[in-house]
Structure 1
Amino acid sequence: MVGAAPLTYAELTDRIAGVANRLHDSGFRPGDRLLFSIRPCVDAVVLVFGTIAAGGTIVFVDPGVGPELFAKRIGLVQPAWAATESLLYLLSGPLHRIGRALGLSLPAFGRLPVRHIHSGWRLPGTPSGSIPVRQLLRHERSQGTATTIADPEAEALIVFTSGTTAAPKAVVHTRGSLGAGLAAMAGRTTLGPDAHLCTEQLMMGLPALMAGARWSMPRYPRFGTHIDPIGFARALDDATHAFFTPADLAVVLTALEEGRLRPPGRLREISLGGAPVTTALLRRARAALPDSEFLAIYGMTEILPVAMTSGSAKLAFAGAGDPLGPPVPGVRARIAEDGELILSGPNLCSGYLGEPALREIATGDLARFEGDTVILMGRKKDMMIRGKTNIYPGLYEPAIAGIEGVRQAVMVGLPDEVGDERIVLAVVAEPGSTDIVARLRRELPGVMDISALPDDIVVVAEIPVSGRTRKPDRAALRGALA
């Protein structure tokens, strides 16, 4: 954590083993799932890997998705334990009205039928039997060796993709797939013993440690769930490496261009991921940060990383499409007959919880090869990207159309120059319906991911269609809305 006392590699290893042993002493058993609702920090990293070392599975469910969808996801995963920030117990319990006033629609964490672990002071609403994180992280050297699970096929991480209350979708990563992903990331950057990476992203920070680098994490705002990109950039003076989403980097570039921000003095390499990295963004970045190189990372929740390439290579490319670079070692990429990119490899997740195992995954992206470089040619699916979230309109449109007064609903994205998209919901209202936009604003958080809520809602007379099947013509709709 920026400003906190550093840990050595030996101290980090010892603390992880200590957490595993103390979890076992508290009744934690191999195979137990732990719902994790603590923002990234050093203690959180130690607890995550101590849990995995103890044979457990970390479950990430964004509490901001709303109580109903949160309950559906918890019902699917059925965790036995939960690690929660005390502030969430307070704002979802005794101070729930204040939580709502802050714009937080939180589930009642204190009522979850699990064993509780809390981070921070024991605030009102924290269950009486909850174990303090600081008790698990005691600094004395652990006694003996933790009993760990060595099976590479054992669960390690469950994380949800976009979905509705009717069909939550949970990606299951094993110890083997996570380890392969970390190994694939290692060696593809300029990280080394003389480097200092600043990021809250585990899949970037851990390869930095594997390369012998120093890893620090930015502080979150007290009530915030997202890092402020300007504040993050101001904390980079000692960093040689950093990670940004394209949308966050665009905010920083604007501040640099307007003179509101001073360029970090030592920053050598900036990794970019979570959304397409456009040449327009890279040109701005080169002008504002001429001493930094840029690394574009392509991947999915189900398989990360897939391919990487430098900003220089992307800017030098003169052909059609978006160069992603060659697949990382171990990842196998092929192009289906319809042009869709199909992926497999040791870092592919084992599958979706409750569904058959995956052997390969269809990306929804159209691609071609130029030599060993994957060139992205567009999207087969109607996926939209906003910030770090992939949004598939087909998951949400049926639920939206089920809301009273809605005859038809179509979501489209209006892209900007940094690869981000503004999500617009176009609806055809039932005759006689009034205040349909206000009703949708009230009811949508109860039927879909908060992260997928539309930026704009527009009532239209009809949705344009095309083809003999009369499917919605999303391109025509985007053109009309733009």
Structure 2
Amino acid sequence: MLDSLTHSLRVHAGRPAVLGTTRTGATRVKATCGDLADLAGRYAVALHARGVGRGGTVGVAVRPGPRALAVLLAVHRLGARAAVLDPGAGPDVLRARLALARPGLVLADATAQAVAGWARPLARRAHLALPDLAELGPVVTVGPRLPGCAPALDGAMRAVVPPRPVDEDADAVIVFTSGTTSRPRAVVHTRSSLAAGMTTVAGLVRPEPGQPVLGGTFFVLVPSLASGAPVALPARAPRVLARQLRRLAPQATYLTPPQLRAVLAEGARFTGRVWTGSAPASAGLLARVKEAGAEEAWGVYALTELFPAAAVEQADKAAHTGPGDLVGAPLPGVVAKTGSSGELLLTGPAARHRYLGEEPDPWVATGDRARVDDGRIVLEGRGKDMVLRHAENIYPGLYEPALHVPGVELALLVGVPADDGDERLVAVVQPGRGTGRAALRAALDGPLSRMGSARPDAVLFAEIPLSGRSRKPDRAATARLAARHLAQGGRR
């Protein structure tokens, strides 16, 4: 599909490709198909001139949009793989991820580089936290350069001719998911598994040429553009997003559950089909979307390891009266089964090839307990320690070690369900004997500030419950303790 997209961009150069919005909700063209094709070609030339080629690894810290898509198309053309770097993960986590992926070059836009010097306070407010530039290795800037940024990617590289596009299966992308800072974990998708996932999305969403689709993810951009449908990037502010939906009238919309709740609160009206994922979506939320005008409202069950895996429309979800959360039938090509412990296992052409540094395994262990009833997947709760907040996966093991500053006996990060279906993240810290809490709060300020978008909503000083013969920290009991504390209006 990436190859067909590249061809389509050239053939339909004047067609709008990526749309943005003004504060009033008016649509503006951010890039035409020709703009994207030219940008991807220029980036391919520049990357090739810097030694990027088949089998190489390129770190990518570029905000979603035309430049990010052009970078991925360029990397794909050269047969290299892209390691997706999240600037909001915090410098400690990023250092470990960079050490694992070992990219030969890091591409970063000005915002991602802001913490390297010129706008560090601004970056902190935006929850961006990259290590200093010197720690990243070779870095180049994608897009406009600002004071303190690395050299531009495509400066003085236009005379180099890139090789013919690579046409063979190989690693395509690395996406980090979980693991501690000392042992990060990353999903490796091949070109074929990536293509299979995008083909599934195209069959599910069925985008029609010429009619806009609203959504900002790679799996929305590529299938829609390849089908001839322009893609509008969702406005960040809920009020502006509501205006954008009204003026654009998209044929299909993909928003996360938190985005849906926020825009519904602004009185948004929907058109066409609406899709939501990245976090649990209740039948009630999907019903509200249909009441707001959507023809269909779908919940998508997906993982970084297999996107998408299953989908369910609001009417079917509402009709499910048994225990558990119905997430729908496995999508074409996806096979689901449960292991001996009740964990849901998935496989299919879109499944990741392996975890970086590990042997390939066709089955994806989801960490979710589930059953398969009449060919449909019903979730029965998460087996992982993962916390879902604002549609973001937060893995406690990434951040807990940093909380063990002098004076801390134990520290856990736990999720507490909120009334709106989301979770609040709470750090429960057990002080060592004789440690003053004021001094401990001051000592924790540094680690907390480096947690980026995973910074907890509250910090609770308390004795952490233990369980089992080995007296390990009891996460479930700790979460209940945190819930009682929040119910009483406490913060620290």
Answer whether TM exceeds 0.5 for this pair: yes
Q: Does 1:52 align with 2:76?
A: yes
Write the mapping of 1:151-300 to structure 2, written as runs, cut at 5 A.
151-152=168-169, 154-193=170-209, 195-218=211-234, 227-236=236-245, 237-238=247-248, 239-256=250-267, 263-264=268-269, 267-287=271-291, 289-300=292-303
Aligned mates of 1:310, 1:180 — CA distance in 2: 22
| 1:75 matched residue in structure 2 | 99
Q: Does 1:123 align with 2:166?
A: no
| 1:481 matched residue in structure 2 | 482
Local SS of the residue matching 2:98: helix
Deviates more, 1:89-98 or 1:342-351: 89-98
Aligned mates of 1:372, 1:189 — CA distance in 2: 21
Aligned mates of 1:98, 1:248 — CA distance in 2: 24
Corresponding letter in the other structure for 1:414:
V
Corresponding letter in the other structure for 2:479:
R
For the 8 Å contact 2:326–2:376, the answer to whether it is kept is: yes
Per the TM alignment, residue 368 of structure 1 is displaced from its structure 2 partner at its CA by 0.9
| 2:167 matched residue in structure 1 | 150
* Structure 1: 5+ residue stretches without partners: 220-226, 257-262
Local SS of the residue matching 1:44: helix
| 1:32 matched residue in structure 2 | 56
Q: Does 1:372 align with 2:381?
A: no
Deviates more, 1:465-474 or 1:385-394: 465-474
Change (3 A) 1:403 1:26: closer
| 1:424 matched residue in structure 2 | 426
TM-score, normalised to structure 1's length?
A: 0.85
Aligned mates of 2:126, 2:453 — CA distance in 1: 17
Aligned mates of 1:208, 1:388 — CA distance in 2: 22
Per the TM alignment, residue 95 of structure 1 is displaced from its structure 2 partner at its CA by 4.0
Local SS of the residue matching 2:44: helix
Change (3 A) 1:374 1:18: same
Local SS of the residue matching 2:241: helix
For the 8 Å contact 1:90–1:124, the answer to whether it is kept is: no
Change (3 A) 1:421 1:97: closer
| 2:13 matched residue in structure 1 | none
Local SS of the residue matching 1:161: strand
The CA deviation string for residues 15-64 of structure 1, in whole angstroms up to 9 with x for no partner, is: 54554345334543222222212212223212211221111211211122
Change (3 A) 1:7 1:100: closer
TM-score, normalised to structure 2's length?
A: 0.83
Aligned mates of 2:259, 2:203 — CA distance in 1: 25
The CA deviation string for residues 135-182 of structure 1, in whole angstroms up to 9 with x for no partner, is: 88x9xxx99995222222x11111111343212222211111101111
Aligned mates of 1:360, 1:338 — CA distance in 2: 15
Deviates more, 1:270-279 or 1:69-78: 69-78
Local SS of the residue matching 1:73: helix
Aligned mates of 1:254, 1:131 — CA distance in 2: 42
Aligned mates of 2:91, 2:185 — CA distance in 1: 16
RMSD between superposed Cα atoms in Å: 2.9
Local SS of the residue matching 1:276: coil
For the 8 Å contact 2:396–2:413, the answer to whether it is kept is: yes
Per the TM alignment, residue 202 of structure 1 is displaced from its structure 2 partner at its CA by 0.9
The CA deviation string for residues 403-457 of structure 1, in whole angstroms up to 9 with x for no partner, is: 22222223321113443110112222111111334433432455xx533332111
Change (3 A) 1:51 1:400: closer
For the 8 Å contact 1:20–1:146, the answer to whether it is kept is: no
Corresponding letter in the other structure for 1:377:
E
Corresponding letter in the other structure for 1:318:
T
Per the TM alignment, residue 7 of structure 1 is displaced from its structure 2 partner at its CA by 5.9
Per the TM alignment, residue 308 of structure 1 is displaced from its structure 2 partner at its CA by 0.9
For the 8 Å contact 1:80–1:115, the answer to whether it is kept is: no
Change (3 A) 1:104 1:20: closer
Corresponding letter in the other structure for 1:387:
H
Aligned mates of 1:177, 1:417 — CA distance in 2: 37
Aligned mates of 1:331, 1:478 — CA distance in 2: 34
Local SS of the residue matching 2:166: coil
Aligned mates of 2:71, 2:251 — CA distance in 1: 27
Change (3 A) 1:474 1:43: closer
Aligned mates of 1:283, 1:459 — CA distance in 2: 40
Aligned mates of 1:475, 1:27 — CA distance in 2: 50
How many pairs were matched up? 455
Per the TM alignment, residue 382 of structure 1 is displaced from its structure 2 partner at its CA by 2.8
1:331 to 330, 334, 340: 334
Local SS of the residue matching 2:93: helix
Change (3 A) 1:281 1:35: same
Corresponding letter in the other structure for 1:413:
G
Q: Among the aligned pairs, what percent are the same residue?
A: 35
